[in-house]
Structure 1
Amino acid sequence: MSVLVGVLHGPGTAPDIATTTAEVTHSTTVPRCAALEGTKIPASAMTLPTNGGRVVSTAVMTSLVSGETVKYCQVGLAIHPVDASAPDIKTKLALPYGWNRKALMFGGGGYNGTIPDLRQNVPFGPTDKPAPLARRYATFAGDSGHQESPEAVPSLDGSFGVNDEALANFAAGDALKKTRDASVFLIRRAYRANPAAVYFAGGSTGGREALVVAQRWPKAFNGVISAYPAWNNLSEVLGLGYLAHVLSRPNAFPGPVKQTLLYDSVMHTCDDVDGVKDGVISHPAACHFDPHTLRCPRGADTGPSCLSVPQIESVTAMSSPFRWPYRIASGETQYPGFPFLSGADMRTPFLGFGVTAPADPMPVTSGYGMQYWDQWVKYFLTRDPHHNALDIDPRRPGKWLDRISHLSTIQDRNNVDLRPFAQAGGKLLLLHGAADELVSHRSTSDYYRRVRDLSGPDAARTFIRYYLVPGANHANFGTPAFAAGWDSLSALERWVDKGQAPAHPVVTDQNHHRTRPLCVYPDWPMYRTGDPDSASSFVCTR
C-alpha cells in the first residue's frame, strides 16, 4: 500500500486500515509536536470501552538509532480504564521528522508492565539494517495496562492479575487495540494524515500479542511479525507448573554442570543429523537422544559426569508433552514440552531450568518459567499473594479447576481462523528458534498446522509464512548457538506493498558470520556441499 489514507470512521468506531486512495489535505511528514500537548483522546476513538485518554507529555528528541541520528517527537499518554481501581494503560509514541507515512507497534514480554523501547528493532532483526524508527516509521507501544513494581524481577510481576480489567487488558489483549486506536488518533493529529500502513512486531508475549491482533481485529494491522509466540499462555503455564513440581522433588534438579553435560551430549549425538557438524541442529525432529545413556551407576548422583535417575526423570519431563486429565474451556489438552533433548543451549539456564530448584518462596535463580508460574498462581489463579505455588498440582487442581478453565478462555488465544485477516489483505510472518528454552517451538508448529489445515495449504500460502530457525534460542538471549538476524520488516513491506511473498530468505548468525536458508516449515536446511558457513551450501528439504 503506497498511498495515504484519508478517511476516519464515524463516531463510536476507531479507524481500521481503510483502502481508499484519497489524500488527506495539508498532510505533512513533520510532526506537530507542541500541538499534541494535553490532547484529550475521546473514548469514541477506541473500539473497546475506556474512559478516554490524555497526552501527558511531549518532547522533541534526538537519538542515535541503528547508527543514525534521528529526530522525533516523543509523546506519552495515558488511557483511562472503565474500572476506577484498574491501572491506566501507559503508552508512548515516537513520531519522526521525515515520516515515511507508516506506523509500527511493538509488543511486550513476560508479564509486561513497562513500555518497550521505541528505538528497538523487530524480533530477530538484523544488526546491519536500520530499526523501524531509523526508517522513519512512527513507532508506538504500551505497557499492556499495568506498571510493574520497581522491586520485581523485570517482566515477572503478575500482581495486576487481581483486577479483572487489567487481566483482560494483558491476557486477552484488550490493551493492544486501545493502544493502537489511541496512537493512530494521535498520529493523525500530528501529521494530519492516517498512516498508509500499520504493522505489529513482537516476540514471546509480544508474539502472542501479534497473533491476538490478527485474530481479533483483522483490519487493524496490514502486516504482523510474530516471533516465538506464547499464544497458548494458560496451557504453557500448566506445563510450567508441572515442571516446577518435578524439579522441586528431592535430588531431581540438574544443576548447571549437569545441564552443560546434557547439552554437550545432545550435540555430540545429533549435531550431524543435518549433514554437517557445526554446533547447530537444523532438524530437531531427527534428534533421538536417550538421556539414560548418561545414567549414573546404580542411579544415584555420583558426580558431574552423569545424571541420577531423578534427574533423568526431570530432563525427560522437560522434553515431553504434559497432558492434563481434565477439560478446560479453551479446548487445549496439552503443552508439548521443550526441546532440551533437541539441542537447546544449556548455557542460558535462566530461561530453562534455572540454576536452583523451585521452592517456596520461589528463588529468583530458578528458571524464568518457574517464576512465571509462581506469579500466575498468586495473582491470576488464587489471587492470594501468600499462596505457595507448589501446593497447586496442575495434574490434580481440585477446587481450582473451574478458575483454570475460565482463565483458559482469556489466556489461550487459539483462534486459528485467520481468513478474515487474509481477506483484509493482512500478511503474517511467523518465526521461532528451534532451540528455544522458554516457549516451545513445537507449540508454534502446532498452531501453524491448525491454521494451514483450516484455511487449506494453498490459501494459507497467500498470507502466512512460518520459519523454524535452526539453532536460535529465545530472543537471542545469552550465547545462543545461532544468533538469528533476518530483515523480516523489509520482507513484510514487500509482501504488503507489492504482493511479493518472501522468496528464498536467508538468516544470518550475527555472532559467527555465517548464514542459513530460512525454510518454510516443515522444510529444514540440509547440508549438501561447499562452505558450511554459507546458506548456498544447504538445501531446504522435507
Structure 2
Amino acid sequence: MLLAGVLPLLGAGPVAGSPPVPGRAATVPQCAALAGMRIPASAMSLPTTGGLVESVSVETAQVSGRTVTYCRADADLFPVDPSAPDIRMRVDLPYDWNRKAMMFGGGGFDGTIPDLAENVPFGPADQPVPLARRYATFASDSGHRQNPASPPSLDGSFGVNDEALDNFAAGDALKKTRDASLFLIRHAYGTDPAEVYFSGGSTGGREGLVVAQRWPRAFDGVISAFPAWNNLSEGLDLGYLAQVLSRPGAFPGPEKQTLLHDRVVRACDGLDGVEDGVVSDPSGCHFDPHVLRCPGGTDTGPGCLSDPQIGAVVALSSPFRWPYRIASGETGYPGFPFLAGADMRTPFLGFGTTAPADPMPVTSGYGFQYWDQWVKYFLTRDPDHSGLDVDPRHPGEWLDRISRLSTVEDRNDTDLGPFARAGGKLILLHGAADELVSPLSTTDYYARVRGLLGPRTTGTFLRYYVVPGANHANFGTPAFAAAWDSVSALEDWSEQGKAPTNPVVTDTLHDRTRPLCAYPRWPRYRTGDPDSASAFVCTR
C-alpha cells in the first residue's frame, strides 16, 4: 500500500515547480504540460505524500447553453497513512479563463467528485453556471470512494480510518484539494487566480463554513447553503428520532405525512397576508398536532394520527437535548420545523416511507440511514452494530467516542473575525422548509456569530437568508423552488464592495418571485400581484 502511494512520485513526469511556457496566453490552459505532473507535498499546507495528475483531456461541451472548451485534469493526492485512501480530485480549466476559480463542496458522506459543470445551490437556471462563466472549477471526493452498491452519499465505511475521517469530517481534504488545484491552475495558466470562491450545500455548506473557520485567507468568498455544520449534534437528534419512529405504531405513513403537511399549511398559509401554499413566517406558525388525534388515540386510518404518531411528530419538531457533556460544547439540536410549513411530501429526506428498523431500510428517511452508517463506521467501527442499539440520550460506553468525534464533526467556531479581516464574504442560505438539515440550526449559528462579533462587524461580511417554502436542495416538488444568482452577488460584494441590496428569489416551479429577505426579516404581502416580489415587503 505504501509503495502504491510513493512509486508514482518517483516515476517520470514533469518536474513540479517547472515554469510555464513564456509568452503564452494566460487565459488558455497548457493542458498537455499537466499530463503526469507530480504535485509535491510542499504544495499543500497539510501533510500528504504528494500527488500525481493521472489523466488530462481537452473537452468541448454545451454548458448553460454556451459552448465551453476546457482542459480536464484528474489527480490523486496520496495519504500519509498507507492504509488510508487517496483523495481523488478534478480540475476543469476553461479556455478564455476569467482569472477566477470556484471550488465545489460535496453532500452526505461525499465519496464522489461533484460535477464541475454544476450550478451553485439554489442557483438560477437562466444564468450561466461557474464553468460557463469561464471559472476554473475544482473539487474532490473528500478522501474516499463511495461504494457503488450503497445509496448515493450514504456510504460511511471510510470512517474506520482516522486519516480518511479527518479528511472528511474535519475538512482536511478541502485544504489539500484547494492547494493542489491552485498548483495546477498556476502551471496551466502561468498565474494564480485573482479570486477563489467556494460553494456548497448540506455537507458542502458545512464545508464552506469549515474553510471560513479554519483557513480564513484561503477563499475570497463562500456560498454556504443549508449547512450541516454541527454534524455530530444533528446525528444524535436523528438517532433519537430513529428510535422514536421505530416504536410500534409510531411511524406515520406517507398518507398521514401528507395530511399533516396540508393541515399545517392550511392553518398558517395566510398569516403572511396571502394564501399561496407558502408559510413565510414559520416562527409565527403555531400548530397543535393533537387536533388530528384519532378517536381514543388509536390508529383508525389515514385521516388522523394515533397517540404514538402524535408523539413522534412532536419529537421531530422539538429541540433535542442530551444530559451529558461533549468536547465540542454543543448541548442539543433545535429540531425540525415540520410544524412550520415543511413539505412532508419529500419522504426520502424527511420521515421516509417506512419506519426505521434493523437492518435500516433504504426506504427510511435519509437522515436515519446516515445515522446508521455513522454508528457502524464512525462510532463503533463495527459494521454489524445496529444504529438502533445506541441511545443518544444514554450512550453508555460510547460517550467518550462521541465526545472525541464532536471535536471534528461539530464545526462550531463562531469567530469569523479572521475571515472578515482577510476580506472574505459569506452568503448563508437556508430553506425554511428543509426536511434534512434544520434551518433553526443555521439560525443558531448565525446568532452566535452575530453575538460574538456584533451586528455591525457581522454585516460587513455576512448575509443570511431564509427562503420561505424552500426545502433541502430543491429536492422533489417543494412549495418554493428557490433560484437566485448568488454568484454575481458574491462577485459584486467581494470584488467591488457592493453588498447585496434588495435581492429577489425566483420560484422556478411556479413562475413567481419573492424578495429575498435578510434574516430575521420575512416577506409579507402588501398589495398587487401575489406572484411578483414587488407585492411583498420584508418585515420582522
Smaller-chain TM-score bracket: over 0.9
Partner residue of 1:135? Answer: 133
Between the aligned partners of 1:268 and 1:430, the Cα distance in structure 2 is: 29
Question: What is the Cα deviation at residue 388 of structure 1?
Answer: 1.2
Structure 2 matches for 1:179-190, cutoff 5 A?
179-190=177-188
Q: Secondary structure at the match of 1:208?
A: helix
Flag structure 1 segments of 5+ consecutive residues without an equivalent: 1-14, 16-23
1:27–1:193 Cα contact (<8 Å) kept: no
- The separation in 1 between residues aligned to 2:309 and 2:102, in whole angstroms, is 45
Q: 2:364 aligns with which of 358, 363, 366?
A: 366
Report how far residue 27 of structure 1 moved. 5.5
Q: Partners in 2 of 1:291 and 1:127 — Cα distance?
A: 38
Q: Aligned to 1:462, what secondary structure does the other structure show?
A: helix
Please identify runs of 4+ aligned residues in structure 1 that moved more than 4 A.
24-27
For residues 283-315 of structure 1, give each alpha carbon's deviation from its aligned partner in whole angstroms, at most 9, with x where no partner exists.
Answer: 000000000000000000000100000000000
The superposition leaves residues 346-390 of structure 1 with CA deviations (integer Å, 9 ceiling, x where unpaired) of 110000000000000000000000000000000000000000111
Pick from 86, 105, 113: which aligns with 1:88? 86
Which residues in structure 2 correspond to 1:387-466 (within 5 Å)? 387-466=385-464
Q: Which residue of 2 aligns with 1:4?
A: none
Alpha-carbon distance in 2 for matches of 1:371, 1:307: 25
For 2:59, the equivalent position in structure 1 comes to 61
Please list, as runs of the form range in 1=range in 2, the aligned pairs for 1:260-299 lying within 5 A after superposition. Answer: 260-299=258-297
TM-score, normalised to structure 1, is 0.95
Q: Please, which of 486, 489, 492 is the counterpart of residue 488 of structure 1?
A: 486
Partner-residue secondary structure (3-state), 1:315: helix
Give 1:491 deviation, angstroms: 0.2
Is the contact made by 1:284 and 1:342 (CA closer than 8 Å) also made in structure 2? yes
Counterpart residue type for residue 145 of structure 1 = G
C-alpha separation in 1, matches of 2:155 and 2:61? 30
Instruction: Choose which of 471, 474, 479 in structure 2 pairs with 1:473.
Output: 471
2:149 to 133, 151, 171: 151
- The answer to whether 1:520 aligns with 2:524 is no
> After superposition, what is the alpha-carbon deviation per residue over 1:135-183, rounded to whole angstroms, capped at 9, x for unaligned?
0000000000000101000000000000000000000000000000000
Residue 461 of structure 1: SS of its match in structure 2? helix
What residue in structure 1 maps to residue 326 of structure 2?
Answer: 328
Q: Give the Cα separation in 1 of the matches to 2:305 and 2:460.
A: 48
Query: How big is the shift at 1:26?
Result: 5.3
In the comparison of the two structures, how many residue pairs are matched? 521
Q: CA separation in 2, counterparts of 1:327 and 1:64?
A: 52
Counterpart CA distance in 1 for 2:383 and 2:61 is 41
Alignment partners' CA distance in 2, 1:86 and 1:274: 53
C-alpha distance in 2 between matches for 1:97 and 1:128: 22
Give the aligned residue type for 2:142: S
Q: Per the alignment, in what secondary structure is the counterpart of residue 133 of structure 1?
A: coil
Match of 2:529 among 512, 528, 531: 531
Q: Name the residue aligned to 2:8.
A: none
Q: Which residue matches 2:213?
A: 215
Separation in 2, partners of 1:51, 1:25 = 33
Provide the rounded CA distance (Å) in 2 between the counterparts of 1:240 and 1:64. Answer: 41
Conservation of the 8 A alpha-carbon contact between 1:344 and 1:473:
yes
Question: SS at 2:60's partner residue?
Answer: strand
Alignment partners' CA distance in 2, 1:57 and 1:182: 15
2:169 to 171, 183, 188: 171
2:149 and 2:301 map into 1 onto residues whose CA distance is 37
Range with greater deviation from structure 2 (436-445 or 272-281): 272-281
2:258 and 2:127 map into 1 onto residues whose CA distance is 34
Q: Aligned letter for 1:218?
A: P
Superposition RMSD in Å: 1.1
Query: 1:106-142: CA deviations, max 9, x gaps?
Result: 0000000000000001000000000000000000000
CA deviation string 1:478-510 (max 9, x = no partner): 000000000000000000110000000000001
Q: Deviations over 1:387-433 (max 9, x none)?
A: 01111000000000000000000100000000000000000000000
1:30-75 C-alpha deviation (Å, 9 max, x unpaired): 0000110000000000000000000000000011111111110010
SS in structure 2 opposite 1:135? coil
* Per-residue deviation, residues 204-258 of structure 1 (Å, max 9, x unmatched): 0000000000000000000000000000000000000000000000000000000
Aligned pairs for 1:44-123 (under 5 A) are: 44-123=42-121
Q: 1:487-537: CA deviations, max 9, x gaps?
A: 000000000110000000000001111000011101111111111111111
2:495 to 494, 497, 507: 497
